[in-house]
């Protein structure tokens, strides 16, 4: 196998965090270093959508697929609608994101994207790394590793967030508000699993319907898909067209820092770095924030930013939340509904974004059902 010239950075995996970082390298006009991204997929596919809260988005507007001014939680016949003057809930289809960054990359000679190539092994040499793939050997001064790894998670508290989503087209009239994102609809438990529907009215006659479950053991696409079809039959009496499908099995847990290989010239990002929020499964915003800071660090200091320690209070609240839910999943519907009822929409969004201040964190604690949480707190 031929060896390539030494690169400044070899990026392992070419998904969300790798492309977000490279996008920042381009945006921040960093041309001093060479980058190679190695991605095992043959081509990018429309495998997921990313949603997140943000204040009015001005940049990269072209990749935003939809947005909603309110969001809701539903339990039985009670629905709690929340909206904030300053924030909207945004939706990006992954294929738009992948393709737009791939196109940008093609304009720069110092960035190379190698698709259809699988990383097999990394060897530490004295002053560089050797990246061995199924096709070639790359030499790198620095590594940015973004390959997800389920084994880095602590055993407790831990849940899987498994879901199947169908983006569908239907002419049939259904009773949904177009300006609302139905985040947790029809919350219930069954067989020790917490279920809810996640419904996004994307545009006229087009919806994303996702059946989500929080569970201790992972559930296959096939099983959830069968249940999703039953859910859909309650909304649609006539046939509908499926535009795309997505399946997720997101770990909700805490990364054991000892398992993260974040050493000199070897950096990690994305889910491998613990960016998936243990209490919610969201990661997109944290990946964007890290990418911007890391590229800025590279530009100014000549190196990527090392991982910061997670904010203590955010970590603490995430831990209580996950502990409470995983220790008695039957209480999850009441907990989420009660929480959404007792918190202001802006505080909720800031908590979700990890941008709450101390006072807002106290408001989060205040909104939690006291008895259950106190019981759990004593056990921590």
Ligand X SMILES: Cc1cc2nc3c(=O)[nH]c(=O)nc-3n(C[C@H](O)[C@H](O)[C@H](O)COP(=O)(O)OP(=O)(O)OC[C@H]3O[C@@H](n4cnc5c(N)ncnc54)[C@H](O)[C@@H]3O)c2cc1C
Mention every residue, 6+ apart, whose C-beta is less than 8 A from residue 194: 187, 188, 213, 214, 215, 325, 329, 332, 333
Q: To which residue do tokens 């389920």 refer?
A: 150
One of 65, 251, 253, 270 touching ligand X (CB under 6 A): 270
Among 145, 167, 197, 246, binds ligand X (CB under 6 A): 246
At its nearest, how many Å lie between ligand X and the CB of residue 193? 18
The nearer residue to ligand X, 14 or 333, going by C-beta atoms, is 14
Binding region for ligand X (CB under 6 A) out of 59-67, 257-265, 269-277, 304-312: 269-277
Quick one: 208 or 372, whose CB is closer to ligand X? Answer: 208
3-class SS at 266? Answer: strand
Helix axes 358-367, 332-342, angle to 10 degrees: 130
Interactions with ligand X, residue window 115-134 (CB under 6 A): 118-119
250 in contact with ligand X (CB under 6 A): yes
Site for ligand X in 42-101 (CB under 6 A): 48, 50-52
Contacts of 42 (CB under 8 A, 6+ apart): 115, 116
Contacts of 268 (CB under 8 A, 6+ apart): 144, 145, 146, 260, 261, 262, 307
Member of 28, 104, 148, 319 binding ligand X (CB under 6 A): 148
Which of 10, 23, 39, 111 is the binder for ligand X (CB under 6 A)? Answer: 39
Report the candidate in 92, 37, 86 with the shortest Cα–Cα distance to residue 59. Answer: 92
Residues 159 and 213: their CA atoms lie apart, in Å, by 10
**Is the CB of residue 368 less than 8 Å from the CB of residue 339?**
yes
Kindly compute the dihedral angle of the four CA atoms of residues 90, 91, 97, 98, in this order, to the nearest 10 degrees: 140
- Cβ at position 17, least distance to ligand X in Å: 3
Q: At closest approach, how far in Å is the CB of 26 from ligand X?
A: 17
Residue 354 touching ligand X (CB under 6 A): no
Q: How many residues bind ligand X (CB under 6 A)?
A: 29
CB of 27 to ligand X, least distance (A): 18
Query: Rounded CA gap, 348 and 340, in Å?
Result: 8
Q: Toward ligand X, which CB reaches closer, 246 or 318?
A: 246
Place of tokens 């989420």: 336
When asked if residue 348 is in the footprint of ligand X (CB under 6 A), the reply is no
Q: Which stretch binds ligand X (CB under 6 A): 24-32, 141-149, 259-267, 322-330?
A: 141-149
CA distance 105 to 99: 10
**Could you give the string, one character per residue 273-312, with x where binding to ligand X holds by CB under 6 A and - elsewhere?**
---x-----xxx--x-------------------------
User: Which stretches of the chain bind ligand X, using CB under 6 A?
Assistant: 13-18, 38-41, 48, 50-52, 118-119, 146-148, 246, 248, 250, 270-271, 276, 282-284, 287
């Amino acid at each position: 196998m031929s060896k390539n010239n030494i690169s400044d950075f070899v990026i392992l995996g070419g998904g969300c965090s790798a492309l977000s970082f490279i996008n920042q390298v381009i945006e921040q006009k960093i041309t001093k270093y060479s980058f190679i991204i190695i991605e095992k997929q043959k081509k990018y596919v429309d495998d997921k959508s990313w949603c997140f809260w943000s204040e009015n988005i001005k940049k990269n507007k072209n990749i935003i697929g939809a947005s909603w001014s309110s969001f809701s939680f539903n339990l039985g016949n009670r629905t709690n609608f929340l909206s904030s003057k300053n924030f909207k809930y945004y939706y990006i289809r992954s294929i738009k994101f992948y393709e737009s960054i791939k196109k940008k990359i093609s304009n720069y000679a110092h960035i190379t994207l190698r698709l259809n190539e699988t990383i097999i092994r990394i060897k530490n040499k004295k002053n560089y790394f050797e990246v061995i793939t199924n096709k070639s050997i790359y030499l790198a001064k620095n590594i940015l590793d973004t390959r997800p790894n389920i084994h880095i998670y602590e055993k407790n508290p831990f849940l899987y967030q498994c879901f199947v989503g169908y983006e569908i087209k239907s002419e049939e009239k259904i009773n949904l508000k177009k300006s609302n994102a139905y985040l947790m609809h029809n919350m219930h438990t069954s067989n020790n699993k917490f279920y809810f529907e996640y419904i996004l009215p994307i545009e006229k006659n087009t919806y994303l319907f996702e059946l989500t479950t929080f569970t201790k053991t992972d559930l296959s696409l096939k099983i959830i898909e069968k249940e999703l079809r039953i859910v859909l039959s309650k909304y649609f009496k006539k046939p509908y067209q499926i535009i795309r499908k997505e399946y997720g099995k997101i770990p909700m847990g805490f990364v054991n820092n000892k398992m993260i290989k974040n050493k000199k010239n070897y950096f990690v990002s994305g889910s491998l770095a613990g960016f998936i929020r243990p209490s919610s499964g969201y990661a997109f915003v944290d990946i964007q924030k890290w990418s911007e800071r890391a590229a800025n660090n590279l530009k100014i200091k000549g190196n990527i930013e090392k991982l910061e320690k997670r904010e203590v209070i955010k970590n603490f609240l995430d831990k209580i939340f996950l502990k409470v839910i995983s220790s008695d999943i039957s209480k999850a519907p009441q907990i989420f509904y009660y929480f959404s009822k007792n918190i202001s929409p802006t505080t909720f969004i800031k908590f979700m974004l990890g941008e709450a201040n101390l006072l807002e964190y106290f408001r989060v604690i205040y909104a939690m059902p006291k008895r259950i949480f106190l019981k759990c707190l004593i056990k921590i």
